[in-house]
Structure 1
């Protein structure tokens, strides 16, 4: 009976109704055991008029990869063939519908998103109910949450239930949540009166107060009281069974049953997906055992089989079982012909008393299958349990090493560290020791200790004089870590050693090392030599395919190309890399390359495109937990937002960028956050605050070996902020650094910025010459923002020199250019100067030139969708690439057409920002 839950039921019902109207929604109900989550979810699902997909986590099944997903998607798996081939194959492999095939970590999650969208399109509204999410296997939980977060315009409602205090952090799920508390006094009494007629009113109110209104406790406790206690003639027990206390109360009911009924309950409690535990119980102990458990209020028997009245009953049965009895039951379940290979292996493991080589081998196979399907955390559990059942120390150590590696790839470095400690305790083989220490170094590098990680990899490389390939790979990995922390000279040394070791035995590894060396040398200011190496490697990098090396090296090559203004090369590399990673479904690996492509768009003045790429990078970084790559796109996004005048977003993203980078000792990345805030305050006319942030960027960069102002272009902003704050000597010292960099090839940006700043700092009679030379460096077509800034400063300088008539022309041009870019703060600054120079106060151009009217109103995701549609991609192709449903793509396009004032896809190209 459901009473006192009208508000919660209305909230859930609203989501179901929204789904029927074509709008997606997700909500997580959470609260203590017995508070009524399951009943609310069931009631909401009963209101749905379309397809209801249901799964429930079971504590004993939490180690079975994709078990919950198989239960959830079973009714709609016939639609799998309509998914993109890679997604259909990944899902089929994960659910054992076809031969196992390697899948990217988030390929199954993308397939779940696609399948839910296909079901909604084919069969009307879909309601997804996943209860006891805390016990759902990691692979299924991740896939459902990924899909839930990215559904938008599909008729799908996702309803989740989580029991508190069971180890799952609801806040970390990153979905809307609703905490469920106990019933109020009136509702609690109404429930008690309905469930237990004749209960004294005073007793009922005391029970509500003492249980906190927990519905399960209210239904169950009166049955445990004497008639005198229920009537109020005797006092109630001092401590009522609530929460886990109810589990103990259920345990007493179990203990009161005869042995056959207890055996039947134990079979059901230990069962896994695919087990016919009820049939086995009938065969072994007879129907009477099940009906006895039903009479005791522990089981529900119906046409679908036997289910526990509440999950606490299962927990009570397992807690009360003797170890020998539980092992025997698992052995019986393992012998079922219907058992799946994975289920049989886990049952055999639970039945084992000591080491068992056959069971360990079967469990390792389970881990391999899970790993192949992208369920890395579940694979780690299987490898670790296989290690428990392995006698030989080094064999056990190798399994623990496999488990730790899987945990690391699965985004659980803390678990990986625990497994490595266990591995170290048993490892004897020196080679196992090498791999162990190398893996620990990777764990360190991905959990906020990159310096320790890189040093560990170098140490292991030095310990492998007879294995140049592995030593070279370790050194290459260590060198790549140095890019983020700014140790460029050390990066050159390590990458050079990696190249020399790998050249005779692995030319591809040596080639990647050569690229890394060039990237480091570029950051050290050796522009010409490094650029020649990267130019020579361009075709090889352009042909990159996943699996042939770390994609970060290719993305880094694209980023390096922007420093010497090889924008065509940078854009080609970044765009190709993003495309192949999208096609392969490598979601986490997209984070850094998308950030790099955003930087290219930013440097070319395509602010809306830059924001779209950077926003997607941040969203995917958050969705996948790939924090090590997240700082960079956060910094780029903050810089874009500074130009667009989105102050609050800029500050939030810049602060997060700097904090995240500092927590990981990634000084080179932290500079981006401080630089974005410097730009923001300068654009808003706050030179003192801008100087503070610029100096902070300078201090952080001083901890690195970087000698390249084009990496993070804060130096001209710092010079201008210091000058406006009255610190001309400080401005002059930093301008000298910028002028030194401007002498390098491919540095017209630095040359133009240095020349305009000379015009600002110089005498009146030299203004025209300095600024004329600066404008020669700034091609408005390739560097529109820099050209506009130069004209703004020229106008300011001419007005200060009492030449207002001469100042008005560059200021008008600057206003128009800033407005075309959408750089609102800078346009306003230029308008203020223009008015002071006697020019018109009205807008000089407006944002329409950035594309059709309305472009600035597009969300980043709408722009991403529109750009791909303009290239001729279908909704399904766009959805697969952006990890969205086709319906969501259609929804974005509809809103885009409305905002742009167009009606057909053919009109998109002319309405969007230029390429």
Structure 2
């Protein structure tokens, strides 16, 4: 929404804020289209309120703001002057003419002109534009301006506008298609109105305007023709899922065609396929199965087993988290491109997955996708493609590149909608990896999530605390996350395994969809965290050897950092520092700036401890070793225990309760892999020796 406002009114922050305040909640979320024209605000009035224009110049500028295309010749026909004469006229500084095109230099001028012009004058100018375009045999523009100038219904113009809107929608210009089809619907009735409403509603959801789509498509029930209801059913289910956060619980057969018409049955089958995929995105296994059953029934009737049923079944189970479903030969951006890209990523061939996505993005692949037929070029499908591309870049370890791609996509596409908000989760994790905090893009995307959808913020807060050096807070947050069932997307997004608290008694959870090396790295991190001290010395070399096979610099860098931290904890300061240095270089290459800084801080702490005077402190080596692993308060408790203090003595010394000391000591035991005070004391002296 902000990007659209910036493109409409330039980057003036005060104007954008004032205009955003005039929008309703759904418009600010991007779930409803922005008003056309945009409302004028005091900041725009102050800018142009003193502008003095002749009637002729005002009509010229208003015509530029109103006309459907940006071609120069119709404007010259309206005004009567040549381009050269306009260039040296008083309005020459307000317009830009180039290569047969004309536009206002400042879009805010168009907003002010439309707001300050009497409605009757605007209608009159639309009428003049209608006649100009009609004389030029530009029927689409002529019909548009005829509809805008009419105070009563204009069915002839409406029919032509609906056809134009369909063409625009198929080429991905869904915002304009929605606008034109909506205008057509206002000028006709009966079946033609149903047709225009259908095109407007489908275009609205294809542009990401889910609330707008629900408003329009619900109007087809129950009185529209059965064909229009069936053709709009799939888009209505998609829109309702995005607005409500869940697919409506409906009896699919209640909406089944009452005839044997093949086209009607195909529309119903496609709607069931979309509903099954949407249920899978939201983890609704029962709903997905029910809709898949309906889709199979319809596919058998219309012979769509191979082109629709097979890829939708494969895509739905994959998105739900089933790794055992084979790839299916579909067509188009979703049924083949995204499904194939995810399978390639699962197989570890991420570059092939990115190539599959790029093939559609070039515009050279014109395949029809049965699942999203007619919307292959829409912003919504492009958003799905962009989210998967960013996910693959994350899996490959290109954190900086992934974040840039996500920010660019968020400017133009509804990236908060695909995969039940996966794009929002990804954006937040990328901001944390690069900035160490949530940036404006991640916060804006989070705010744009439909109200029913919620993402788990505990992991994000845990990562932020961990990168800031507050490991105690990170562990507490991850414990809360674990107590809530450790919810996570079925498509793997990097979390905080460094503070994992899972135990052997925990119930097994289904593995997320991810490349083999990310699964391998998760296992390595678990071994680093959980190996007993007596096994660590012999196992570290093998863990390190396996870590060197990881191709993702981000994934390997985090494993190397954990090896370094564990080594320092066990008193091997020099070896640990070497691993941390390698981790810093790898994370820097990945673009994960915040993770790089966190490792640098650990190295600085180790270096500072190494250069600190220690002649009078026989336990300085253990203190230095433990500084990288324990919080400041945990280190205080540990050293007092080693010096022989009781829990009561420690509580008195630190001005805390005995219970607090017990909690800190329990965490110390867990982090240092000891079970008693005696073992802790022995470990400290062994390191010191």
Query: TM-score, with normalisation over the residues of structure 2?
Result: 0.63
For 1:732 and 1:55, how far apart are their aligned partners in 2?
Answer: 70
Label 1:518 to 1:496 Cα distance change in 2 as closer, same or farther (>3 A).
farther
Label 1:749 to 1:609 Cα distance change in 2 as closer, same or farther (>3 A).
same
Measure how far apart 1:414 and its partner are.
4.6
Label 1:401 to 1:641 Cα distance change in 2 as closer, same or farther (>3 A).
closer
Instruction: Select 1:360's aligned residue among 133, 155, 159.
Output: 155
| Structure 1 residue 576 corresponds to structure 2 residue 323 | no
Measure how far apart 1:461 and its partner are.
5.5
| Structure 1 residue 641 corresponds to structure 2 residue 431 | yes
| Structure 1 residue 684 corresponds to structure 2 residue 460 | no
**Are the equivalent residues in 1 in contact too, given 2:386–2:406 (CA < 8 A)?**
yes
Label 1:574 to 1:127 Cα distance change in 2 as closer, same or farther (>3 A).
farther
| Structure 1 residue 711 corresponds to structure 2 residue 492 | yes
SS of the equivalent of 2:109 reads strand
In structure 2, the residue matched to 1:40 is: 51
| Structure 1 residue 797 corresponds to structure 2 residue 580 | no
Label 1:127 to 1:595 Cα distance change in 2 as closer, same or farther (>3 A).
farther
Label 1:426 to 1:805 Cα distance change in 2 as closer, same or farther (>3 A).
closer
In structure 2, the residue matched to 1:385 is: 186
Aligned length: 538
Label 1:582 to 1:768 Cα distance change in 2 as closer, same or farther (>3 A).
farther
Instruction: Select 1:372's aligned residue among 142, 162, 167.
Output: 167
In structure 2, the residue matched to 1:721 is: 499
For 2:430 and 2:534, how far apart are their aligned partners in 1?
Answer: 36
1:257-276 alpha-carbon deviations (Å, 9 max, x no partner): xxxxxxxx999577330438
1:542-593 alpha-carbon deviations (Å, 9 max, x no partner): xx5xxx4x53763254235434534243222233233338999755543332
In structure 1, the residue matched to 2:273 is: 476
SS of the equivalent of 2:131 reads coil
In structure 1, the residue matched to 2:246 is: 451
**1:11-26 alignment, distance < 5 Å:** none
In structure 1, the residue matched to 2:338 is: 555
In structure 2, the residue matched to 1:319 is: none
Label 1:68 to 1:493 Cα distance change in 2 as closer, same or farther (>3 A).
same
SS of the equivalent of 1:271 reads helix
| Structure 1 residue 275 corresponds to structure 2 residue 131 | yes
For 1:674 and 1:433, how far apart are their aligned partners in 2?
Answer: 43
1:153-191 alpha-carbon deviations (Å, 9 max, x no partner): xxx76553424996xxxxxxxxxxxxxxxxxxxxxxxxx
**1:62-77 alignment, distance < 5 Å:** 66-67=67-68, 69-70=70-71
Measure how far apart 1:616 and its partner are.
1.6
Measure how far apart 1:620 and its partner are.
1.8
**Are the equivalent residues in 1 in contact too, given 2:557–2:583 (CA < 8 A)?**
yes
**Are the equivalent residues in 2 in contact too, given 1:756–1:771 (CA < 8 A)?**
no
**Are the equivalent residues in 2 in contact too, given 1:30–1:37 (CA < 8 A)?**
no
**1:138-177 alignment, distance < 5 Å:** 160-163=109-112
SS of the equivalent of 1:663 reads coil
**Are the equivalent residues in 1 in contact too, given 2:201–2:212 (CA < 8 A)?**
yes
For 2:63 and 2:469, how far apart are their aligned partners in 1?
Answer: 56
In structure 1, the residue matched to 2:668 is: none
**1:67-146 alignment, distance < 5 Å:** 67=68, 69-70=70-71, 129=95
**Are the equivalent residues in 2 in contact too, given 1:819–1:827 (CA < 8 A)?**
yes
**Are the equivalent residues in 2 in contact too, given 1:54–1:129 (CA < 8 A)?**
no
For 1:818 and 1:269, how far apart are their aligned partners in 2?
Answer: 60
| Structure 1 residue 783 corresponds to structure 2 residue 575 | no
For 1:33 and 1:682, how far apart are their aligned partners in 2?
Answer: 46
For 1:425 and 1:525, how far apart are their aligned partners in 2?
Answer: 37
| Structure 1 residue 618 corresponds to structure 2 residue 414 | no
Label 1:502 to 1:818 Cα distance change in 2 as closer, same or farther (>3 A).
same
| Structure 1 residue 602 corresponds to structure 2 residue 394 | yes
For 1:563 and 1:819, how far apart are their aligned partners in 2?
Answer: 25
1:125-179 alpha-carbon deviations (Å, 9 max, x no partner): x96659xxxxxxxxxxxx99xx99xxxxxxx76553424996xxxxxxxxxxxxx
Label 1:639 to 1:779 Cα distance change in 2 as closer, same or farther (>3 A).
farther
**Are the equivalent residues in 1 in contact too, given 2:383–2:409 (CA < 8 A)?**
yes
In structure 1, the residue matched to 2:83 is: none
In structure 1, the residue matched to 2:581 is: 812
In structure 2, the residue matched to 1:845 is: none
Label 1:473 to 1:345 Cα distance change in 2 as closer, same or farther (>3 A).
closer
Label 1:459 to 1:696 Cα distance change in 2 as closer, same or farther (>3 A).
farther
**Are the equivalent residues in 2 in contact too, given 1:681–1:690 (CA < 8 A)?**
yes
SS of the equivalent of 1:782 reads coil
SS of the equivalent of 1:577 reads helix
**Are the equivalent residues in 2 in contact too, given 1:795–1:811 (CA < 8 A)?**
yes
1:361-385 alpha-carbon deviations (Å, 9 max, x no partner): 4421233124424431332234313
Measure how far apart 1:782 and its partner are.
1.1
SS of the equivalent of 1:387 reads coil
Label 1:573 to 1:36 Cα distance change in 2 as closer, same or farther (>3 A).
closer
CA RMSD of aligned residues (A): 5.1
In structure 1, the residue matched to 2:317 is: 521
For 2:76 and 2:113, how far apart are their aligned partners in 1?
Answer: 30
Label 1:57 to 1:397 Cα distance change in 2 as closer, same or farther (>3 A).
same
Unpaired runs of 5+ residues, structure 2, are: 1-10, 13-37, 78-86, 367-375, 612-689
In structure 2, the residue matched to 1:487 is: 284
Unpaired runs of 5+ residues, structure 1, are: 1-10, 13-26, 47-51, 77-119, 121-125, 131-142, 149-155, 167-242, 252-264, 277-333, 723-729, 843-915
In structure 1, the residue matched to 2:348 is: 565
**Are the equivalent residues in 2 in contact too, given 1:519–1:557 (CA < 8 A)?**
no
**Are the equivalent residues in 1 in contact too, given 2:584–2:600 (CA < 8 A)?**
yes
Label 1:579 to 1:658 Cα distance change in 2 as closer, same or farther (>3 A).
same
For 2:258 and 2:503, how far apart are their aligned partners in 1?
Answer: 51
Label 1:657 to 1:695 Cα distance change in 2 as closer, same or farther (>3 A).
farther
For 2:356 and 2:122, how far apart are their aligned partners in 1?
Answer: 59
For 1:368 and 1:560, how far apart are their aligned partners in 2?
Answer: 38
**1:692-841 alignment, distance < 5 Å:** 694=478, 711-714=492-495, 717=496, 719-721=497-499, 730-732=501-503, 737=508, 741=511, 747-780=516-549, 782-835=551-604, 837=606
**Are the equivalent residues in 2 in contact too, given 1:363–1:386 (CA < 8 A)?**
yes
Measure how far apart 1:731 and its partner are.
3.3
For 2:506 and 2:127, how far apart are their aligned partners in 1?
Answer: 73
SS of the equivalent of 2:158 reads helix
1:184-209 alpha-carbon deviations (Å, 9 max, x no partner): xxxxxxxxxxxxxxxxxxxxxxxxxx
For 2:590 and 2:147, how far apart are their aligned partners in 1?
Answer: 65
**Are the equivalent residues in 2 in contact too, given 1:642–1:676 (CA < 8 A)?**
yes
1:269-317 alpha-carbon deviations (Å, 9 max, x no partner): 77330438xxxxxxxxxxxxxxxxxxxxxxxxxxxxxxxxxxxxxxxxx
For 1:703 and 1:808, how far apart are their aligned partners in 2?
Answer: 34
Measure how far apart 1:408 and its partner are.
4.3
Measure how far apart 1:478 and its partner are.
0.8
SS of the equivalent of 1:802 reads coil
Measure how far apart 1:477 and its partner are.
0.8
**Are the equivalent residues in 2 in contact too, given 1:756–1:793 (CA < 8 A)?**
yes
Instruction: Select 1:663's aligned residue among 446, 451, 472.
Output: 451
Query: TM-score, with normalisation over the residues of structure 1?
Result: 0.49
1:417-447 alpha-carbon deviations (Å, 9 max, x no partner): 44446544743x444444465554343234x
